[in-house]
Amino acid sequence: MNLIHYLDIHIDFIKLDIKFDKNWEMEGRNSMMAKIIGILLMGLLLTTSIALADTYEVDPVHSNVGFSVRHMVISKVIGNFTEFSGTIVFDEKNLTGSSIRGAIKTASINTENEKRDGHLKSADFFDAANHPEINFESRKVEKRSDGYVAIGRLTMKGVTKEIEIPFNIVGIVKNPMGKTVMGLEGHLKINRQDYGISWSKTLDNGGLMVSDEVEIELNAEAVKKEG
């Protein structure tokens, strides 16, 4: 919620309070002044906390968006996406000002097999021509006992679902160029059927040619924006 929206909502409540004051001419004015001062102070604290958060841009050269899926029940096909971007706003002391956004180009899928990659880009799977991106945008970031979790909306093939992405901060260091770099690792599982990616075949033993569950592994280096 931005500061202007925050002030608009609370000033509307102030107006309602004044209508119900018995001696609103004096009491209402004093009450309104006190509330406005309180709201401005709260807004100032909110703005300050956001300003203290650091912003990092994902470095795709040193990052990876990988996945694996069971094939014919007995093995796994491993792949990744080669084109993606991401922005991380992080303040360890005040997670309310933290956020994660990411975008993946579906046509950049790579499983080291040109024919299979072409099928994955088709309407049977990602339909890259009509849905060129997979997007994630967090609503909030929470601390958990074993790390952090980004809670937000994942949009894929025109379908949006709320998911949780558990992740860890591996470390924050200075690179040889003197820039601050953050390392993150995240893991999650999704059901591709939830996003309309439903192609498969049933085997003689009742198993699926391609499993519904997809494991996703995220490894990122993100460079702090200066200034």
**Rounded mean pLDDT of 99-114?**
96
Q: How high is the pLDDT of residue 182? A: 94
Residues 104, 8 within the same domain: no
Q: Within this chain, do residues 30 and 57 fall inside the same structural domain, yes or no?
A: no
Tell me: do 110 and 204 sit in the same domain.
yes
CA distances from 108 to 52, 66, 81, 98 (A): 35, 12, 5, 28
| Same-domain check for residues 26 and 73 | no
Whether residue 120 is found in the same domain as residue 32: no
Residues 106 and 94 in one domain: yes
23/84 same-domain check: no
Same domain? 64 vs 43:
no
Give the mean pLDDT of 154-163: 97
Considering the domain architecture, whether residues 209 and 122 belong to the same structural domain is answered as yes
Domain count, the chain: 2
pLDDT score of 103: 98
41 and 130 together in one domain: no
Model confidence band, residue 93 (pLDDT cutoffs 50, 70, 90):
confident
**Could you tell me the pTM of the whole model?**
0.74
- Examine the fold and report which residue of 11, 28, 51 is the final residue of a domain before the chain moves on: 51
Q: Over 90: is that where the pLDDT of 168 sits? A: yes
Q: Where in the sequence is the domain holding 95, given as residue range(s)?
A: 53-224
Q: Do 116 and 155 sit in the same domain of this protein? A: yes
- Mean pLDDT value of segment 138-150: 93
- Cα distance between residue 166 and residue 171, in whole Å: 16
Q: Which of 122, 97, 88 is nearest to 107 (CA)?
A: 122
Evaluated on CA atoms 73, 75, 81, 86, the torsion sign reads positive
Asked if 29 and 74 sit in the same domain, the reply is no
Beta strands 133-144; 109-110: pairing state:
unpaired
Which residues, other chains included, contact 112 with Cβ-Cβ below 8 Å and sequence gap of 6+?
79
